[in-house]
């Protein structure tokens, strides 16, 4: 089956720094989503981005479907950005999740 | 517009018991999918229901089952609980198939003792 790899697995930043999270998938997927898991476990939608680039405030994402990867950019990070970020590829009537990036933003 | 609602939020059960979890999707969404999240296995797909029909099932034993009602609400059931079933169970709803844009509920945290 399709494998989704995320890097880095862990990231520690100082407040105000920028970061890039990467998601690689082993085969073509129909679409790609980025989520932020809050401390209570809920997956919060960040981007639905089958291809191209989208921006939402300090966050932006780019998916290059032909090369089977997606990037999530976080600029001017804040402590509230801390948590686990997941990407998920959509294929065969399900989402296939990566293992996540644990982000800690220190004040 | 209300989001995806899962109940209960927390459950503690003993081995051998069974449990039923509930998920109400976003109004107008016909697809409901279930995922299990554990520290060791990450987020894994359980099954998907669309218009009361199971369209896809993940690699889980038959103790895990589900159903969907005519109002799109879904339930999942786990029988003969094992310690390894302790997990966060997440429900997602989509307008279309489960591999389109999905929105998740807050999850049900199940602990089996």
Average pLDDT value for residue range B44-52: 95
Mutate to test the interface with A, among B34, B36, B102 (most CBs of A within 10 A): B102
Mean of pLDDT over chain B: 95
**Residue A88, beta-bridge partner list:** A33, A97
Has residue B113 got a pLDDT over 90?
A: yes
Has residue B1 got a pLDDT over 70?
A: no
Residues in CB range of A39: below 8 A, 6 or more apart: A83
Distance from CA of A76 to the nearest CA of B (A): 27
User: Cα–chain-centroid distance for residue B73?
Assistant: 11
Alpha-carbon span A100 to A74, nearest angstrom: 15
Nearest to B91 by CA among B50, B51, B45, B34: B34
Tens digits of per-residue pLDDT, B70-93? 999 999 999 999 999 999 999 999
Reading the block at residue B2, the tokens are 């209300």
Query: Contact, A2 vs A91, CB < 8 A?
Result: yes
User: Which chain B residues are Cβ-neighbours of A100 within 8 angstroms?
Assistant: 42
Cβ within 8 Å, pair B99-A100:
no
Nearest to B20 by CA among B63, B84, B83, B70: B63
Kindly indicate the confidence band of residue B48, based on its pLDDT and cuts at 50, 70 and 90. Answer: very high
Tens digits of per-residue pLDDT, A66-86? 999 999 999 999 999 999 999
Among B42, B48, B103, the residue with its CB nearest the CB of A94 is B48
């Amino acid at each position: 089956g399709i494998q989704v790899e995320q890097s880095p697995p862990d990231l520690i930043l100082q407040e105000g720094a920028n970061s890039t999270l990467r998601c690689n998938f082993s085969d073509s997927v129909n679409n790609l989503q980025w989520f932020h898991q809050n401390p209570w476990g809920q997956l919060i939608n960040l981007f639905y981005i089958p291809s191209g680039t989208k921006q939402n405030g300090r966050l932006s994402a780019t998916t290059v479907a032909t090369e089977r990867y997606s990037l999530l950019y976080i600029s001017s990070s804040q402590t509230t950005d801390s948590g686990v970020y997941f990407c998920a590829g959509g294929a065969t009537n399900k989402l296939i999740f990566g293992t996540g990036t644990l982000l800690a933003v220190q004040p | 517009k209300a989001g995806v609602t899962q109940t209960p939020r927390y459950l503690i059960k003993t081995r051998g018991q069974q449990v039923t979890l509930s998920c109400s999707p976003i109004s107008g969404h016909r697809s409901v999918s279930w995922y299990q999240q554990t520290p060791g296995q990450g987020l894994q797909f359980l099954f998907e229901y669309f218009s009361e029909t199971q369209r896809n099932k993940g690699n889980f034993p038959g103790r895990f089952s589900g159903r969907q009602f005519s109002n799109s609400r879904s339930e999942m059931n786990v029988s003969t609980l094992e310690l390894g079933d302790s997990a966060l169970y997440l429900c997602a709803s989509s307008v279309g198939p489960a591999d389109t844009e999905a929105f998740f509920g807050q999850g049900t945290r199940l602990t089996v003792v």
